[in-house]
């Protein structure tokens, strides 16, 4: 076989395995989840390679730095908002003397298909002064993953690999190259390499700034950022990155001329190439998926006589995903005979289907019981978190009222309670609790706030497709007790329609308690249960 049909995420996973990766760590988050899942499917048990889910993105990233210190190659995966959680070690690791290659694959979600914002991870690479690869197809996702490991070890820095939903979740043929062996385990020897005391950090940061100059020089090489000269009388030149390149290519033939095109695959930006491109052009159109990252930087590189077009001047929409038609409009081409959306338009009109919890989902019974329990209070607050249960904000339950980020249900509840609100209930899932709820619970217990924390324990990370949680339910209960919740206020209910009265009474009792109480609503996600039964039936 000379090729595999792979998702962009699977191409990254295969690229990492063929690059001799020893470990992969991640936290599930759409659109990045399939990277670890694919590795878990294909890794040979005897190989010694491990791909594991972690409590959160920060712990995943820190484990990677630990493995790198032992000379191993490590892949870390997360979605864009997960990088906010891992930002602390990511920023600090920039000035460490990385040994085994560290590649951080982050999947951004322009258009917010399943995310709370659209943030663009290229800004984090720029912020940390670290290199970033941005593939525009599955083959590049495979090859750039390998190149990123080589670069990481060559320059001794972590390397970010930026993906977007449409690439992560679409398939194409990937032709692999010969595999490389894993690095042997060797403990680092440089005394200052993995420590960030101010004295060592100052020295390392000065070195890092010098290294950044070398990375900028590397970005000018033709292989990483190709510049294709066009017609000398073309009315504009084009800079593309990621999928923006594909959308441009789909329309390029209709232009009637060949603009000069710089395709940015690798950051820091190749400033010299950008100046070369601009020398023969009065206008540059910048086509990039995500924020106007390149476009903004261009304004500091180019003379004011060169007009820069893109998302900032309205040539392209400032938010959402790009597509070939949007790019076509920016290129000032006439409308195509069949538009991208036509496929949808030609379908028979479907009734609107607002997102909702699955029929039979345990959360439905929990929200019903909670709403009944809260009926007796004229005013109340229910803070929510990230997971399937965020849908409890919508009809028919309209139970939760807030949703900030992972773990914020508990911390927001604490703040609201200390601001004088009563009663306050925080709703959080088991996986999210282990991700970012623990520290909030410690805060709440330490200040004895009167809040009730409802842990919706369905034994899985349901929203991303049912990955294993790092602890089973019993383990989470021990953690809750260990953080100081009184045993008589760490209680369990089973969310079932037959137990509605019992559950709402239990919730009311805990809401009445003027301290921190934790209620586990324990019933398995029906989707996970179904998959398990199908697997067992096949076995
Ligand atoms: S996937 Fe599981 S937890 Fe999520 S809505 Fe469906 S049944 Fe509920």
Instruction: Calculate how far, in angstroms, residue 389's C-alpha sits from the geometric centre of ligand 1.
Output: 8
Task: Please enumerate in sequence order all residues whose Cβ is within 8 A of that of 281, keeping only pairs 6 or more positions apart, or say none.
Answer: 234, 236, 237, 259, 260, 306
Ligand 1 centroid, distance to 388 Cα (angstroms): 6
- Whether residue 343 is predicted with pLDDT greater than 90 in this model: the reply is no
**How do residues 133-179 score in pLDDT, each as one tens digit?**
999 999 999 999 999 999 999 999 999 999 999 999 999 999 999 99
**Tokens at 144, concatenated:** 């750039």
Rounded distance, CA 38 to CA 343, Å? Answer: 30
Q: Report the atom number in ligand 1 closest to the C-alpha of 456.
A: 3
Separation between Cα atoms, residue 387 and residue 389, nearest integer Å: 5
Rounded CA-CA distance 446/440 in Å is: 10
Minimum CA distance residue for ligand 1 atom 6: 358
- Full 3-state SS string of 360-425: CCHHHHHHHHHHHHHCCCCCCEEECCCCHHHHHHCCCCCCCCECCCCCHHHHHHHHHHHCCCCCEE
532 confidence band (pLDDT: 50, 70, 90): confident
Query: CB of 527 closer than 6 A to ligand 1?
Result: yes
- Provide the 8-state DSSP code for 24: E
What count of other Cβ atoms lies within 10 Å of the Cβ of residue 169? 16
- How do residues 298-331 score in pLDDT, each as one tens digit? 999 999 999 999 999 999 999 999 999 999 999 9
Is residue 525 lining ligand 1, measured as CB closer than 6 Å?
A: yes
pLDDT > 90 fraction of the chain, expressed in percent and rounded:
90
pLDDT band at 292 (very low <50, low <70, confident <90, very high): very high
Residue 516 near ligand 1, beta carbon < 6 Å: no
Percent of the chain with pLDDT over 70: 96
Mean pLDDT for 363-390 is: 97
Mean pLDDT, range 487-506, rounded to an integer: 98
pLDDT band at 344 (very low <50, low <70, confident <90, very high): very low
Q: How confident is the model at residue 345 (pLDDT cuts 50, 70, 90)?
A: very low
What average pLDDT score do residues 426-449 get? 97
- For residues 32 and 276, give the distance between their C-alpha atoms in angstroms, rounded to a whole number: 36
Does the CB atom of residue 357 touch ligand 1 within 6 A?
A: yes
Residues 6+ apart with CB under 8 A from 110: 118, 120, 164, 165, 289, 290, 319, 320, 321, 322
pLDDT tens-digit readout, 174-202: 999 999 999 999 999 998 999 999 999 99
Q: Is the pLDDT of residue 354 over 90?
A: no
User: Which residue puts its alpha carbon closest to atom 4 of ligand 1?
Assistant: 388
Spacing, Cα 527 to ligand 1 middle (Å): 6
308: CB partners within 8 A, 6+ apart: 283, 284, 286, 295, 298, 299, 302
Please state, in angstroms and rounded to a whole number, the distance separating the CA atoms of residues 426 and 405.
13
For residues 308 and 331, give the distance between their C-alpha atoms in angstroms, rounded to a whole number.
13
User: According to the model, what pLDDT value does residue 535 have?
Assistant: 83
Report the pLDDT value the prediction gives residue 537, as an integer from 0 to 100.
Answer: 84
> Among 92, 35, 31, 30, which Cα is nearest to 61's?
92
- Quick check: CB of 526 below 6 Å from ligand 1? yes
Task: Decide: 456 in ligand 1 pocket, CB within 6 A.
Answer: no
- Closest of 240, 218, 246 to residue 139, by C-alpha: 246
Alpha helices, DSSP H, located in 156-197:
165-168
Of ligand 1's listed atoms, the one at least distance from the Cα of 364 is 8
| pTM for the model | 0.93
For residue 401, give the nearest of 418, 425, 422, 372 by alpha carbon: 425
Instruction: Report CA(413)–ligand 1 centroid distance (Å).
Output: 24
Q: Using a 6 Å cutoff on CB, does residue 485 contact ligand 1?
A: no
Whether the pLDDT of residue 349 is over 50: the answer is yes
DSSP run (H or E) holding 25: strand 23-26
Instruction: Pick the residue whose CA is nearest to atom 2 on ligand 1.
Output: 525
Q: What is the overall mean pLDDT for the chain?
A: 95
- φ/ψ (deg, to 5) at 133: -100, 145
Report d(CA 294, CA 285) in Å as an integer.
Answer: 11
Ligand 1 atom with least separation from CA of 363: 8
Provide the total of helices (H) and of strands (E) in the chain, helices listed first: 21, 19
Q: What is the C-alpha to C-alpha distance for residues 393 and 427, in angstroms, rounded to an integer?
A: 11
Q: Are strands 132-133 and 266-267 parallel, antiparallel or unpaired?
A: antiparallel
């Amino acid at each position: 076989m000379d090729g595999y049909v792979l998702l962009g995420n699977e191409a990254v996973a295969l690229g990492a395995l063929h690059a001799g990766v020893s470990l992969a760590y991640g936290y599930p988050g759409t659109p990045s989840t399939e990277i670890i899942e694919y590795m878990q499917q294909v890794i040979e048990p005897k190989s010694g390679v491990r791909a594991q889910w972690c409590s959160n993105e920060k712990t995943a990233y820190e484990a990677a730095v630990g493995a790198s210190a032992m000379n191993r190659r490590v892949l870390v995966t997360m979605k864009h908002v997960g990088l906010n959680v891992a930002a602390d070690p990511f920023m600090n690791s920039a000035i460490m003397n990385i040994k085994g290659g560290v590649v951080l694959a982050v999947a951004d979600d322009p258009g917010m298909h399943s995310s709370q914002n659209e943030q663009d991870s290229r800004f984090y690479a720029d912020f940390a002064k670290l290199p970033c690869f941005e593939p525009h197809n599955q083959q590049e996702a495979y090859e750039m993953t390998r190149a990123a490991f080589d670069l990481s070890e060559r320059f001794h820095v972590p390397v970010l690999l930026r993906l977007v939903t449409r690439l992560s979740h679409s398939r194409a043929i990937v032709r692999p190259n010969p595999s490389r062996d894993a690095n042997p385990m060797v403990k680092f020897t440089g005394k200052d390499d993995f420590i960030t005391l101010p004295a060592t950090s100052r020295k390392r940061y000065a070195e890092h700034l010098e290294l950044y100059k070398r990375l900028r020089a590397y970005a000018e090489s033709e292989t990483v950022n190709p510049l294709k000269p066009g017609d000398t009388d073309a009315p504009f030149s084009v800079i593309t990155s990621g999928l923006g390149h594909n959308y441009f290519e789909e329309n390029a033939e209709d232009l009637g001329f060949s603009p000069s095109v710089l395709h940015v695959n690798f950051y820091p930006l190749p400033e010299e190439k950008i100046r070369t491109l601009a020398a023969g052009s009065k206008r540059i159109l910048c086509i990039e998926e995500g924020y106007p990252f390149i476009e903004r930087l261009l304004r500091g590189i180019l003379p004011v006589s060169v007009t820069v077009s893109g998302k900032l001047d309205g040539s392209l929409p400032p938010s959402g995903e790009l597509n070939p038609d949007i790019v076509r409009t920016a290129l000032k081409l006439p409308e195509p005979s069949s538009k991208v959306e036509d496929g949808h338009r030609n379908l028979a009109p479907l009734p609107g289907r607002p997102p909702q919890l699955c029929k039979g989902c345990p959360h439905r019974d929990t929200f019903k019981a909670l709403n009944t329990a809260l009926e007796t209070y004229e005013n109340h607050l229910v803070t929510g978190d990230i997971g399937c249960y965020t849908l409890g904000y919508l009809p028919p339950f309209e139970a939760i009222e807030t949703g900030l980020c992972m773990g914020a249900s508990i911390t927001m509840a604490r703040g609201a309670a200390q601001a004088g609100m009563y009663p306050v209930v925080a709703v959080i899932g088991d996986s999210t609790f282990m991700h970012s709820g623990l520290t909030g619970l410690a805060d709440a217990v330490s200040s004895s706030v009167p809040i009730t924390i409802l842990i919706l324990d369905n034994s899985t990370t349901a929203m991303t497709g049912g990955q294993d949680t790092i602890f089973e339910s019993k383990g989470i209960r021990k953690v809750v007790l260990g953080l100081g919740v009184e045993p008589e206020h760490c209680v369990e209910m089973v969310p079932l329609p037959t137990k509605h009265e019992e559950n709402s009474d239990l919730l009311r009792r805990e809401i009445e308690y003027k301290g921190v109480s934790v209620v586990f609503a324990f019933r398995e996600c029906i989707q996970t249960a179904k998959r398990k039964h199908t697997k067992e039936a096949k076995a």
